[in-house]
Structure formats: C-alpha cells, structure tokens
Amino acid sequence: MDDRRIETLWSHVHALTVLGLQGSYTAAARRLGVSKAAMSQRIAELERSAGVALVHRTTRSVRLTEAGQQLVDTTRGAFESIGTAFAGIRDLAATPRGLLRVTAPVALARQQLVPRLADFLRAHPEVRIELDLSDRLVPLAQEGFDLAIRHTATPPETHVAWQLCSTRSVLVASRAYLRRRGAPVLPADLSKHDCLHYLRPGEAPAWQLVSQPASGQATKVTVPVAGCIAANNSEALREAALSGLGIALLPDFSAQAALKAGRLVPVLPGWVPEGSFAEHIYALRPYSPHVPRAVQALVAHLRATLRDGFVI
C-alpha cells in the first residue's frame, strides 16, 4: 500500500480506536458525530485495506480482534498526543471556546448546576456545554467527557480534582407527617416511623447518626430503618417527604429549597447523619498535562458560585 493510501485511512484508524473504547458502533458514531452507517463503512474499508479482520461482531456486542487491538494499542498514544497538541494551540486564544462535555448526578445538576450555567454561558458566548445527567459513575476518558461533577469523599488519584464545596446530610419531614405521627426525640424513635431511604442494592437500610452536644463526648448510633418507599435519587425521596410519606435523609443540596420555604422541617436537629452521602463535591477530569481554557473557566465559575455550599 502506498503512502497516500495510508494517509487516507488515518481517520479510519482513529474510528477503530474510538470503537474499541466505546464497545458499540452506536456509541462510537455518537462520539465522532457521524452516522452508524458511516462508522461501519470506515471500519469495513480499514479491514479491506489491512487484509485482516479487526472487529468481532455479534448481535449483542463488538470487540476488537487481536490484530485490531494491536493496531489500537500502537496508535492510541499518537492520537492522544495530537488531541493534546491541538487543544494547546486552540487555547492560545485568550477567549475560552469550544464544546465542553460534562457529566453530573441528576439531582445535583438539576437543582444546583443548571441554574449556575446561565451566567457562565453569557460570560463565555463561544463555549457550548453538553450536560449528561446520570447517577452512574461513567469512565470519563472512555466516554469522551471533559469534566465530571462528583459527590464523593475520595476523588481518584488518576484524576485532577478541584473541590467545589462542602456538603452535608439532613433528616427532614413535612409538617403534616410530623403532626400525624409525632416528631422523633431520639434516634431509636426512627424505628417507629416511615423512613424514606436511599436505595443501595445489597445493603441493609440503616442510618448512622452522631450527636452534637454543647459539651462532652459525641455519641454515634446506627439505626435500622424501613419505610414505604426507597429510591436511588434524592429528588424522588424529597418529593415523597413533601407528600407526607415519611422522614427522608437527603443531601443538603436536595433539601435546601424546601427547607427555606418551610415545606420541609428538620428532624432530630441535635443529631447529624453521617456516612450516607459524601461530604464534598468535586470537579474531576483525567490527568493530562494540559487543561483546556474552557474547562478552567467553568471550574473557576463553579468554585466561585458554590464556595459557600448550600446554606439552609
């Protein structure tokens, strides 16, 4: 094969690299901004030119052959270097620009991040944001995200992490529920209540509470809980509490608006929930020697607007 023919296939090799990372033609095509048919055609042309199968195809999955994996392993570093070099050149401009792909938890994004993006986008009109709302922990590099917002206690060491703010957990209920069932005085009283807990498969539902005495030693207790509803989304639990279904354990960013409006009230105010949700919110990205200017600008904006946390 002459050099000119090889040069025409460079984009096809990159497509194979993305396919290997994404694991499906549909996801790879979405990542590259092309149709699934165009993606399939690129791989087919690459295989014809190589004279060897590069992809195993089944009805359910796509994986690289040994030859395909060897080609991807050999060329991936070069494509990453090209991407880094291009990002560096683009950032020579003083103005942040380009597309930012950001992933964030559903409740945190809807309630706290999206309202803060309007001012950022008005200040940086050449930046566009694609916001993926998902509570699953997606692999950032594999799925092409520039930044992740995470509610976590321990950011991964392989990532650059910027702490945006602190956060805490709160016990809340509606006034109507407490009038009907009475307010718990001690953590042990929760066993007599409907407790709306965050669903974590494989874990027996229990809340850990720490007393906040004016003086003396704090006391830590663990209380098994049960209720009429559990969910893996704090917005759903908040809405259940607002409907008078029970006492909910929520992160402060989910409870903030309802507490300020008086629609929910604190429960067991002398006790602090511990261990159910992380105590910090971070912005994360895989480590790289270059951080795009648009990423820097968005992180700076979020740190400035979230630095006081979620005052209740």
Tell me the HSE value of 307 on the side-chain side, using a 13 A CA sphere. Answer: 6
* Distance between start and end Cα atoms, the chain: 68
CATH for 169-274 is: 3.40.190.290
Q: Let me know: does 25 contact 19? Beta carbons within 8 Å.
A: yes
Written as six digits, the tokens of 120 are 């950022």
**Given this model, what pLDDT does residue 84 score?**
66
**Given this model, what pLDDT does residue 167 score?**
92
Residue appearing with tokens 């992933």: 103
**Given this model, what pLDDT does residue 297 score?**
94
Length of the chain: 312
Q: Let me know: does 208 contact 221? Beta carbons within 8 Å.
A: yes
pLDDT tens per residue, range 196-250: 999 887 778 999 999 977 666 888 999 999 999 999 999 999 999 999 999 999 9
Q: Let me know: does 224 contact 212? Beta carbons within 8 Å.
A: no
CA distances from 111 to 117, 193, 228 (A): 11, 28, 25
CA distances from 66 to 20, 80, 153, 160 (A): 12, 21, 39, 33
Pairing of strands 206-211, 280-286: unpaired
Query: What is the fold, at CATH topology level, of the domain defined by 3-90?
Result: Arc Repressor Mutant, subunit A (1.10.10)
Q: Let me know: does 152 contact 278? Beta carbons within 8 Å.
A: yes
The 3-class secondary structure across the chain, one letter per residue, is: CCHHHHHHCHHHHHHHHHHHHHCCHHHHHHHHCCCHHHHHHHHHHHHHHHCCCCEEECCCCEEECHHHHHHHHHHHHHHHHHHHHHHHHHCCCCCCCEEEEEEECHHHHHHHHHHHHHHHHHHCCCEEEEEEECCCCCCHHHHCCCEEEEECCCCCCCEEEEEEEECCEEEEECHHHHHHHCCCCCHHHHHHCCEEEECCCCCCCEEEEEECCCCCCCCEEEEECCCCCEECCHHHHHHHHHCCCCEEEEEHHHHHHHHHCCCCEECCCCEEEECCCCCEEEEEEECCCCCCHHHHHHHHHHHHHHCCCCCC
Residue range(s) occupied by CATH 1.10.10.10 in the chain: 3-90
Q: Backbone dihedral region of 248: left (phi > 0), alpha (psi from -120 to 50 degrees) or beta?
A: beta
* pLDDT under 70: residue ranges of the chain: 1-7, 59-60, 83-94, 137-139, 141-142, 214-216, 311-312
Residue 247 CB-density burial (10 A; 0-12 exposed, 13-18 middle, 19+ buried) = buried
CATH for 98-167+279-306 is: 3.40.190.10
Give me Rg for the CA atoms of the chain.
25
